[in-house]
Every structure is written in C-alpha cells, then in structure tokens.
Amino acid sequence: MTSPSRLPFYIAVFLLITAGISLAVWRHIELGIPWLTGEQRPVWMVEARVDFDGSNEPVVASLNVPEQPPGFRILTEQAASPGYGFSIIDKAGSRRAEWTKREVVGPQTLYFKAQFIPDPNAEPAPPAQPPKTKRLFWEEPQATAVREILAQAEARSSTPESMTRELIQLMQPDTRVQNTTLLVSEANYLQLLVNMLNHSGIPARTADGLKLEDARRRQQLTPFLQIYNGERWLTLNPKTAAQGVPEDLILWRQGSESLLDVVGGDNSEISFSMLRQTVPALQLAAMQFDGDGLSFLSFYELPIEEQSMFRMLLLLPLGALVVAFMRIVIGIRTSGTFMPVLIAVAFVQTTLVPGLVAFLSVVAIGLAMRGYLSSLNLLLVSRISALIILVIFITAGLSIFGYQMGFNTGMTVTFFPMVIIAWTIERMSILWEEEGGQEVLVQGSGSLFVAICAYLLMSAPLAGHLTFNFPELHFAILGLILLMGQYTGYKLSELRRFTPMKVYD
Amino acid sequence: MDWISPRALNRLGMLNMNRRNVDYIARYNERSSYPLVDNKLKTKLAVAEYGVKTPQLLQVVKQQHEISRFRDMAEGLAGFAIKPAKGSGGKGITVITGRDGDDYVKASGARVGASVLERHLTNILAGLYSLAGTPDVAIVESLVESAPSLARYSHQGVPDIRIVVFQGYPVMAMLRLATTDSDGKANLHQGAVGVGLDIGTGRSLNAVQFNRPITLHPDTGLALENINIDDWEEMLEMASRCYEATGLGYMGVDLVVDSNEGPLLLELNARPGLAIQMANGRGLLPRLRAVESLKRPHFTPGERANYAMKTFASL
Ligand SMILES: Nc1ncnc2c1ncn2[C@@H]1O[C@H](COP(=O)(O)OP(=O)(O)O)[C@@H](O)[C@H]1O
Ligand SMILES: [Mg+2]
C-alpha cells in the first residue's frame, strides 16, 4: 500500500534520527558530555609551594608553570599568597607565575594550585620552527672523549631517537669506558647529555616531571631529557632511555627556562603536594568548553533563570512522544489531546502523589460546582469564564486549607494550569451528561494514566539530563513522532475491540 | 482477557483506525470538503442539487434573538428535530415526537417545556456541541417518521442506514437501531444496535451492540436475522450520488426511510466509524482495494451501485 511518494518522507525521517543521534555521539566524544548523570572523572589537584626568606628588599618570585603538559589538560589555576601581587606571564615558549611585593621580611610561603584532567590526546603544540642546536667548545682531553663517544653512538644508530638511546647506554656506569669516566660525574650527567646531543646536531633540553600519587606531600620534581626529532619534542628517561611520558607523570617544566627564580629572597625552595579528586563529568565538560566553538548547542551559556525554563520546555517533547505513542500505538482514549502532557508538567513540579491529590480534588470540587452552573443556563463563554474563576477559588481555598493543616502540599495546586483544568472540568461534565459516568471514568483515567506515564518519563533524572545536555536528541524524538504519524498497524486496544471477529476467521 | 491476533485481523481484511486515517481519510478526503459534511446545513443544500432528499428544513436559528421566532413556529408543530449544524455523534440532538398540552414529548417519552428547548437552542448557538467549541447555528427540521417495517425493530427512535461510500462506490452497509441505552439515537457508541446488511440484497447479516454480537434486539426482543430493506438499489444509488455532491472519497452516508417521503439523507460523515465491519462480520479492506484497483471506474451513480451489488457481497 505504500505509494512511492512516501520514500522521501522515510529518508527525511531517517536523516533526522541519525542526525540527532550522531550529533549527540559526536558531542559526547568531543566535549566529554557524559551519557549518564552521575558520571565522575578523576582530576589531579597539584599544589606547588615556594618557600624563601625575605631580606627586606622588593621581591620578585617567578615560578615556571605548566603550559600544556603531554597527557593532561589544565582545568583551573589559582595562586594563594596574601599581600603579593600576582600574575601569570606568557612568554615565548614558557609560562611563569610571578609574585611581587615591595617589603618582605622573614620566612615566606607562596602557593600555586592547578587542577589537571588526564587526557591521553592532550599534546603540546609542536614548535613553529625547528629549535637550533648549540655547539659547545670543549677543552682537551674532553673534546676527544666527546668526539669518540659520539662517533661510537652514531655508528650504532640511524635516527635522533636511537642515537640518544645509544648515547645514554654508553654513559651508564656498567658500560662506561675510559672516555666516559673522564667526562661524567653524578652532578653534571644530564647537562652533559644535553650538551653532547646538541653538539652532535640533535636539539636537546631538560624537563622536570612530577610523579602523581594520591595524597603525597613535599614531593620533588624528577628531571627528564627531551630531544627534538624533527617534528616534535620527545621525552626520555635520562637513565633508562625509556621513551615517552608515563601516565602518572606530569611535566611541570619543559624547555630551557629555570624552574624557580627568586629575586630579593634567600634559601628559596619548592615542593609539591597533590590530591586525586573526582568531579562530575558534566561539570568538567561545561568548564572545559566554556565558550568553545563546539558548545554552540549548550544551554549553559544562558542565564540561570532561562536555563531552568528550558529544562522544563525541553522535557515537553518527551511528553508529546508518550501521548503520541499511547494514542496511536496503544489506543488509550484521553480527554483533550495534550491535556495529559500539561498535567504531567505540573506533576513534575509538584511530585506525583501531592500533585495527584491536588488535581483530583480540584477537578472533583469543580465538577460538583459545574453541576450547579449547568442549571443556570449560561452561554458557553461565560460558563467557562465562571469556571476558571471558580477553579482559582478552589485552588486558593485548598492552598490555605492545606497550609493551615500543616502540609505544604496544598500549595502545589498552584502549579496546575487553571485554564486547562477549567476546560477539563467542562469537558468531563458534558461527557457525564451525555455519555454517562462510565465514559468519564474511561477518559478520565486514560488521561491520568497517560499523564502519569509522561510524568514518570519526564521526571527521570536521565531524561532531564539527556534532553538538556543533548538537545539535538529532539531531532530523533521528532523523527519518531513523525514515524508514528505514519503507523497504519492495529492499535493494542483494537486487538481487544475486534475480538468478536474471531468467529468469522 | 480475550484478544485477537493482528494476523487474524489481516486475514479478515479489517480496516483499523490508523490505516483509515492515513491511507483513506487523509488520502481521499480533501480538507476543503470537510465543512460541507461537518455542517449539516451545508450538507442539506449541497446534496439537494444532486437530487438527494433530506428531511424538510423548518427553521435555522442563527442568533439568540431568533429563538423567540422558534417558539411561534414550534407552537403549531407536532413533531420536529433540533440539531446543532456542526454537531456529531448524536450530541445536542433533541427529537420531539409529539405534544402534551403546552409540553413537548421527546422520543424517550419525557416531557419538556418550551423553556428547556430554548435553553437548548442557546447552548447550541454558544457552540457547546460543535466540534471545536466554535459558535454554531441550530437547525429545526421535520420529524422523520420511520416506515413501520423498520420502525418496529427500533426502540423510541428512527433506525438509520449507514453506507460507507468509497470513491462513489457503496462498499458496506449496516442498519442502526436505537435502544434505551442510546436514548432514541442511532449512534453505535451510545449503545445503538448495528445490523450488518448484505450489500447485494439489503438483507441482514449479523448484529452487534457495544461491539458484542447479539441476535435479539435488547428492548423489543425481536429477532434481527430476517430484516430486509426495501428499495435497496435505490438507496445505494442515492448514497453513491453523494460522492458527486461532496467530492469526498471516503465517507459514511446516513439514510433513513420515511413512511411518506421514502429514503432521505440524514447526514454525511467524513470519518465513518469502524464498527460497521463487526456488524457485517467482514473487513472493509478487500472491498476498498477492489475499488482502488479498478482500471476503468464507472461514471454514473447507478452503474456504481450496480457494480457494488454484484461484486462486493462475495468479498
Ligand atoms: N429529523 C429527524 N427526525 C427524527 N429523528 C432524527 C432526525 N434527525 C436526527 N434524528 C435522530 O438523531 C440521530 C442522530 O442524528 P444525525 O443527523 O445522524 O446527527 P449526528 O451527526 O449527531 O449523528 C439519528 O440517528 C436519528 O435517530
Ligand atoms: Mg449520525
């Protein structure tokens, strides 16, 4: 029976649904907006503590802070140091936190806190132009030793990476030959390595890393070696030559800048403490992508008041979906097509039981009063208007009565849309007069049933979360509703209604 | 709980609500033709041009102040019916069958004063019974006095004959008999009895009330098996002619047989119900599909009625 003209319709519906879902999936992956409400993500809180003694002079303390450590994203940064001027200075290739104060006496403590989110995809941007190497002038006999070691390492390697590995190997105590012993001492090992690599034409530098362990205090940084392989900086362990940054290691400092400079103070020291925290994934996503181009579909940009209004509005399509399903597929009769949705919305605000009690009492009292109105022989418009006013009286009466009896549920009546209730009462009472109490019961309970179903769906935390954070899912809902509009199969209720046809089968 | 499987329903060719709406009403009924059938006054005028008779129009009450004229006119009448022009499902219809002094006697036997009727007219004008609650007009038309052969089956009301007409072909028919439950109106969902009619002969098939099969009329106790409608072909042709008058591809035509005037059109319906299938014990789909697959449709109502009588009885 499907005529060909319906094909474009189905394609459009299909596109609508896939667009909605894939947009949601994409935003989930890109923005990290979680599917579930309660999802938590780990965050590392790292605190750098700088101690020094003031010597009655103006102080400038400048601490290197991470810019883009591999494997982490910086969520927040904050400095705590009363009485100091503070700013973060971005200078070519390095970021420094700078504290300043004019008169400083005695021991001083400065704090810098930052939160890091583990993110395997986070990578520092590669340098705009390849870094230059510096050739050092070596004195004899070191010059010969360096030349020979480098020649040896070079002979065994093919790339900057393998060259570095070989060199590190040659400099280890157990493999050291005479040449090496001549050069190496514990204190200068890393700097020597950097110098030798630079000498051989491979850009190299040092970096400092912090090992992340929950609830550790007074930790120090460990040094690492970085070489440039022509594309980007690689990090190596200077002792084992293991390449890459371990997952639990955050590179606090990269590049040639010093870690800490204190001008006007003595005995400066730095130590780190850290804490593993969890934050709701949703909050994380919202913070991380504040103002990001991808967040165009986000309602978090709106003022709070509008947000809560949209929270409600975005639930309505779910209610409409329930009504469409109940009427088209199940075949439940309701009084007024979307009256159940509006009642369900009111239930969301009042919660179910108080809402139900309030709604039923208003309608019941209203029906009794409507009985009197109908004997007055009024015109329809004035009868409805009178009914609206009566409904408001009933509502007010119930609220005051409920309040004086000591429960707040009385107040919840005010959430119900007065005009809708008035119409409901009007329809019910006409139905009563014309079709009898049974039809009122059927349609009334049908409406309430659909309203409760819609309420249960709309009040589920997951529903609120998904509709608000993935508004594009409404495309899929729209698609489903359109599809249902084309459903030509039997309703569930018809399978019962047509039962007597069994005898003719 | 008793259920019938969707497969069995498919085998029987039962038309369901969703398919009726999507595949027939939405596809074959022009929106613009709806006012013609949703408004009984317009229907009366439209079908008159095509030679389809309706109960005589006595008065149209359009405004509140015209109600006083109604009182004058009704004084001299024995029987009449008041209807909202845009009503449906029997709502707002008051049938007066006689007089008792100054009072009017309703079909149910209840007596009402003129003031009750005037209040009723006011309600109709305010739109209480119209589909969308919009202001309406009231029609006063002559009382249909059913031919005795049929009237004896019906309790307190006029029996009417519902014929589903698809693209001008009468495809299925049933007789509707009023009961106490239906308050003298022949509307099935209010409790009237539906008796399926053989489209080929006009003889009764099965009967249902409230969707359940019955064999005897619940009030009169008469057996419903051997009812035979006179002038069957003429009635089918009349129903078929309404297609030309309205252009509606899928509709229900309600006819009554008046003892003096013969068959009259009571009303047209752009959304005819599905219960007719249960009264017939047949599904509509095979017949609808037969019409849809006709290569050369017949052009005159007579030809179509004839074709329907020959072909559909066996489907
Ligand atoms: N002129 C009339 N004379 C007698 N009974 C009538 C008349 N008009 C309507 N009725 C009764 O009222 C019922 C409903 O009328 P109808 O015109 O079909 O309106 P509706 O659209 O509400 O079904 C009919 O089945 C019939 O029993
Ligand atoms: Mg009717």
Residues B280 and B202 both lie in one domain? yes
A239 touches chain B (CB under 8 A): no
Query: What total number of domains does chain B contain?
Result: 2
Query: What are the structure tokens assigned to A32, written together?
Result: 């990290």
Is B156 a member of any domain?
Answer: yes
* Mean predicted lDDT score pLDDT of chain B: 90
- Per mean pLDDT, which of A402-411, A448-457, B95-104, B217-226 is the most reliable? A448-457
* Closest CB from B14, B123, B133 relative to A501: B14
CA B181, CA B177: separation in Å to the nearest integer? 11
Taking the CA of residue B186 as reference, the ligand 1 atom at the shortest distance is 25
By mean pLDDT, which of A28-32, B45-49, B138-142 is the weakest? A28-32
Residue B22 clears pLDDT 50, i.e. is over it: yes
For position B294, which CATH number holds? 3.30.470.20
User: How many other CB atoms are there within 10 angstroms of residue A469's CB atom?
Assistant: 25
Q: Which of B223, B226, B205 is nearest to B215 (CA)?
A: B223
Is B291 a member of any domain?
Answer: yes
Residue A1 clears pLDDT 50, i.e. is over it: no
Residues B158 and B129 both lie in one domain? no
Domain finish residue from B142, B177, B207: B142
How far, in Å, from the CA of B302 to the mean position of ligand 2? 25
Chain A residues with beta carbon closer than 8 angstroms to that of B277: 498, 501
Distance from CA of A311 to the nearest CA of B (A): 32
Residue A2 clears pLDDT 50, i.e. is over it: no
Pocket of ligand 1 (CB under 6 A): B 55, 81, 83, 87-91, 93, 95, 141, 143-144, 157-158, 160, 178, 185-187, 254, 266-267
By mean pLDDT, which of A106-120, B121-135, B250-264 is the weakest? B121-135
CA A88, CA A82: separation in Å to the nearest integer? 16
Is B5 a member of any domain?
Answer: no
Residues B132 and B80 both lie in one domain? yes
pLDDT-based confidence at residue A297 (cuts at 50, 70, 90) = low
Distance from CA of A397 to the nearest CA of B (A): 29
Q: Where are the domains of chain A?
A: 307-497
Is the bond preceding A141 in cis, omega lying within 30 degrees of 0? yes
How far, in Å, from the CA of B90 to the mean position of ligand 1? 7
Atom 21, ligand 1: which residue's CA is nearest? B88
pLDDT at residue A323, as a whole number: 93
CA A331, CA A345: separation in Å to the nearest integer? 22
pLDDT at residue B162, as a whole number: 96
CB B312 within 8 A of CB B172: yes
Domain that holds residue B170: 13-53+147-314
211-240 in chain B: CB under 8 A from chain A: 211-213
Residues B18 and B80 both lie in one domain? no
Ligand nearest to the CA of B92: 1
Rounded alpha-carbon distances, angstroms, from residue B147 to A283, B143, B257, B261: 79, 12, 6, 10
Is B3 a member of any domain?
Answer: no
Residues B161 and B292 both lie in one domain? yes
Residues B68 and B135 both lie in one domain? yes
Residues B185 and B84 both lie in one domain? no
Domain finish residue from B80, B107, B142: B142
Q: Of all residues in chain B, what percent carry a pLDDT higher than 90? A: 62
pTM for the structure as a whole = 0.72
Residues B171 and B206 both lie in one domain? yes
414-433 in chain A: CB under 8 A from chain B: 430
By mean pLDDT, which of A285-289, A361-365, A474-478, B184-188 is the weakest? A285-289
Taking the CA of residue B92 as reference, the ligand 1 atom at the shortest distance is 22
The per-residue pLDDT for range B181-218, each reduced to its tens digit, is 777 677 787 788 999 999 999 999 989 998 888 989 88
pLDDT-based confidence at residue B288 (cuts at 50, 70, 90) = very high
Q: Which of B39, B25, B10, B62 is nearest to B272 (CA)?
A: B25
Residues B194 and B306 both lie in one domain? yes
Q: What are phi and psi of A352, to 5 degrees?
A: -65, -60
Is B193 a member of any domain?
Answer: yes
Is B206 a member of any domain?
Answer: yes
Residues B130 and B181 both lie in one domain? no
More confident residue, A333 or B250: B250
* Mean pLDDT, residues A64-93 taken together: 83
pLDDT-based confidence at residue B132 (cuts at 50, 70, 90) = low
pLDDT at residue A436, as a whole number: 75
Domain finish residue from B142, B161, B190: B142
Residues B124 and B151 both lie in one domain? no
The per-residue pLDDT for range A412-423, each reduced to its tens digit, is 667 777 878 888
Q: Which of A418, A444, A447, A421 is nearest to A431 (CA)?
A: A444
Say which residues have a Cβ less than 8 Å from residue B237's Cβ, sequence separation at least 6: B301, B302, B305
Residue A477 clears pLDDT 90, i.e. is over it: yes
| ipTM (interface predicted TM) | 0.85
